[in-house]
Amino acid sequence: MDITINNAKEVLKKYLKANKGKLYHSIRVAKVAKILAEKNNVSVDEAVIAALLHDIGKSMTNQEMRELCASREVTMYDFEIFQSPGALHGKAGAILFEKEFNRNSDPEKFDRIKHAISSHVAGADDKMSALDKIVYVADNIEPEKEKKNNSQETGIQKQTETLLSKIENGEIESLDDCIQIIIEGKKQRAKKREVECNPLVDNILANDDDEISL
């Protein structure tokens, strides 16, 4: 299958039609990703496709995800295996993307989108690209998810103004600044719920000195 928005919509439906919540979340993420891509001179086409497909791994059970990742020798960390197996849905989703789409039609585009899907949960072992960061941020600031997060929040992000509106009015100046706020919120919520926050999130901005302005 060629890597187009229309084909991505079909693949999204194929995997998530039974999970309307996740399906509509993916569409909202794509809308936010489009805005962020336009602001950052990143391909809107790639941002929308990666955002539409970022959660297709959620169509699998934890065991299926683990087995699929193991079969492709994808690196899995202790946190992903023992504490929060659902965190593998990015890596597993990237393998589903690989199965559905034809790499030969545009290998670089294929690799960029696959990496964005794989890294959207908690970053990657290598550097996050601007596309990766856009999908990560969009996933976390789409309106319904932010509303849900705010209701669980312990103190920060209590404001009614959304992160997206702060990006749009220039109050948050870079994707990295936004990622810092998102990670801080995740840690606060994990602490409140007395669960461990995925330690891999600290890799998202590691070894990254290129500030991307919004």
Q: Rule CB under 5 A: which residues touch Fe ion?
A: 55, 139
Query: At closest approach, how far in Å is the CB of 58 from Fe ion?
Result: 7
CA 214 – CA 49 distance, rounded (Å) = 20
Of 52 and 212, the one with the shorter C-beta distance to Fe ion is 52
Query: At closest approach, how far in Å is the CB of 104 from Fe ion?
Result: 28
Neighbours of 39 (CB within 10 A): 15
Of 116 and 167, the one with the shorter C-beta distance to Fe ion is 116
Which parts of the chain are beta strand (E)? Answer: none
67 token code pair? 């087995």
CA 83 – CA 155 distance, rounded (Å) = 26
Query: At closest approach, how far in Å is the CB of 35 from Fe ion?
Result: 16
Of 41 and 151, the one with the shorter C-beta distance to Fe ion is 151
Query: At closest approach, how far in Å is the CB of 194 from Fe ion?
Result: 22
Of 87 and 214, the one with the shorter C-beta distance to Fe ion is 87
Return all residues near 163 (Cβ < 8 A) that are at least 6 apart: 140, 141, 146, 157, 172, 178, 181, 182
